[in-house]
Structure 1
C-alpha cells in the first residue's frame, strides 16, 4: 500500500496538472459514473492529502475521496486523453493532460462534513502543516502496545507505512517490540522530526531513501539496492542480509499481520528495570 509521501505527491501532481481550471470527468469503468457526471466541467479547486487519503475538491459540489488501498494506482499523461484501456475508475482531463485512477479501495464524492469526519479519525500527518505531534505522543505514552504496531496505526500517526516504520525505528536505535509507553519524550521528538524530514524527501524524490550519506552505495562501495519499492534503506526487506551499520543479520518477523524488519544489535531492547 502506498505510504503517505506518495499520496501527498499525487495531490501536488493533480494540482499542478489540473488545478484551477475546468476538467472533463468520466468513469469508463462505470463505478463512479454518477460522481463523475456531477464534477464534469467543473474546476478542480483543491487537492490535498491526509495520511493515505487523497481529497480532490470541487467548490459547491464536494470532494472526491480516494484511498488507493493495495492495488490502486494513478497515471498521469500529457496532451489529450486517449481511449481508455482497462478498468479506469475516474479520469480527469484538462487542457494540458489527464489523470487516470485505477483499482482504488475507495473513490466517492463526499461532503465537507464527511471529509472532516475522515480527518477526525486520523492521527497527525508528518507532512501536514496543521499536524499536532503531541496528540500522537500522548496516545503512544499511554499504550502497552509495541511501538512498531502503534506507528502503523493510522489513528495515531497518519501516513506512516511499513517502510517508514521499520526505517525510522532503526535510525533511532529503538527496538520495535518496546511498549509505546516506554518511549521517552526525547525519543518521540526525534522520531517525529525524522519522519517529517524523511517523508518530505519522499515527496520530493517520489521514492523512499533512508540511509545516511556514509551508508550510501557510493560511500560503502556496495551495489545499489534492487527492489520494486526503490530507494536505499537499512532494514526494510533486507532480512538475512548484514546490517549496513554493524554487520549483524537483519531479522524479520510478523507483527499485526505485517512483516517487521529490524537489526537486533543496533536496536537492542533495554534491560527490564
Structure 2
C-alpha cells in the first residue's frame, strides 16, 4: 500500500488546490452517500496526514478520513490553476512513482463523468478529485479523529520534539522482530514494506532481532534514517534509497532498477557485499534483506 510519504504529498496537494474552497462532495458509487451529504457545501480548512491516514477538516469541524489501503487511489484534474500530481495511490510502479502532473484544462467546464467505482468526488470551482478503492472513507467527528490518532505511533515526517524518544521506547519494550515492529503503525506510523527493508539494510540490522534487543543507539539510528529517507520521498514523489554513485544513468535520476538496495532484488547480488539478496515472508508480507550485511 502507499507509504507515508505519499499520504503526506496527498495532504499537501489537497491543501494547495482545495484549501479554503467550498466543495461539492458526492458519492457516484453510492457507498459514501450519507457521508457526502454531511460534508457537501462546506469549505476545506486543513488537510493533514499522520502515517498512512489522511484527514480533511471542513469548516463545520467534521473530517473526511481516508486510508488508501492496498488498492486506493486519488485522481485529480482541473483548470490551469490546478497544479499537482494527476494520480497518487494504486496502481504503483516500483518506488511508488506517482502519475502527474495534472493536465491543465484552460477551458475547464467541470469534472468529467465518473469512471469506475468512485467512492467520493470532491469538486471546487477550479478542479476535482476522485477516490477509488480505499480501505477507509468516512465522515468523522473531531473525537473520532483523535481516537484514530491515539492508536498511532509517532510519524517520522512530523518528527516533533519527543517523537524520537517515543519511538525508541515503543520499539524496545517489545520482543517482536524489529522487521514486524517497523511496520506496526502503533510503533511507527507511515512505514511500509519498502522503507522497512531499506532502512534495516542501510543500518545493517538483522530483521529478526527482537525489539527488546535493539540498543538505544541503534533504535535512534533507525528513526533518524527513516526520517531522512521518507523526507526524500516527500520531496521526490518516489522512494529512492541508493546514492547517485550506484545509478546507471550517471547520477541524474535513479532508474527504478537502481533505486533500492534490497527491495525486490531477491536473487541478485547485494550492492554492498555481493551476497545474494534474500526474500522470505514475515507477518504475511515479503521481507527483503542481505544475509551478508544484516546477520
SS, match of residue 91 in structure 1 = strand
Note if contact 2:76-2:129 (Cα within 8 Å) is conserved in structure 1: yes
**Match for residue 238 of structure 1?**
265
Q: Which residue of 2 aligns with 1:50?
A: 50
Match of 1:169 among 200, 209, 215: 200
Report the alpha carbon displacement of residue 129 of structure 1 after superposing the two structures with TM.
Answer: 4.5
Distance of 1:57 and 1:75 partners within structure 2: 19
Q: Report Cα offsets for 1:234-263 as digits up to 9, x if no partner.
A: 001110011111111000111111100001
Q: Which residue of 1 aligns with 2:147?
A: 117
Alignment match of 1:209 (pick from 216, 237, 240) = 240
CA distance in 2, matches of 1:216, 1:178: 31
Distance change >3 Å, CA 122–CA 96, structure 1 → 2: same
Q: Tell whether the 8 Å contact from 1:63 to 1:111 is kept in structure 2 after alignment.
A: yes
Name the SS of the counterpart of 1:143 in structure 2.
coil
Q: What is the 5 A alignment of 1:89-238?
A: 89-130=119-160, 132-218=163-249, 224-226=255-257, 232-238=259-265
CA distance in 2, matches of 1:173, 1:98: 44
Moved more, 57-66 or 107-116: 57-66
SS in 2 for 1:65: strand
Q: Deviations over 1:124-155 (max 9, x none)?
A: 00011536121221122122211101101000
| Contiguous gaps of at least 5 residues in structure 1 | 269-273
Contact 2:278 2:288 in 1 (8 A): yes
Distance 2:169 2:247 in 1: 35
SS at match of 1:86: coil
CA contact (8 A) 2:171 2:219 kept: no
Measured after TM superposition, the shift of residue 62 of structure 1 is: 0.5
In the TM superposition, what is the alpha-carbon distance from 1:197 to its structure 2 partner?
1.2
Q: CA RMSD in A?
A: 1.6
Q: Is the 8 A contact 2:42 2:60 kept in 1?
A: no
4+ aligned runs moved over 4 Å, structure 1: none
CA distance in 2 between counterparts of 1:187 and 1:129 reads: 17
Residues 39 and 61 of structure 1 are in contact (CA less than 8 Å); yes or no, is this contact kept in structure 2?
no
Q: SS of 1:217's equivalent?
A: coil
**Number of residue pairs matched?**
262
The superposition leaves residues 2-23 of structure 1 with CA deviations (integer Å, 9 ceiling, x where unpaired) of 1111111111111111111111
Kept in 2, the 8 Å contact 1:5–1:159? The answer is yes
1:56-71 paired onto structure 2 within 5 Å: 56-71=56-71
Whether contact under 8 Å (1:241, 1:249) holds in the other structure is yes
Residue aligning to 2:283: 256
What is the match of residue 20 of structure 1?
Answer: 20
Give 5+ residue unaligned stretches, structure 2. Answer: 80-109
Q: Conserved in 2, the CA contact under 8 Å of 1:215 and 1:245?
A: no
Task: Compute the TM-score of the two structures, normalised by the length of structure 1.
Answer: 0.92
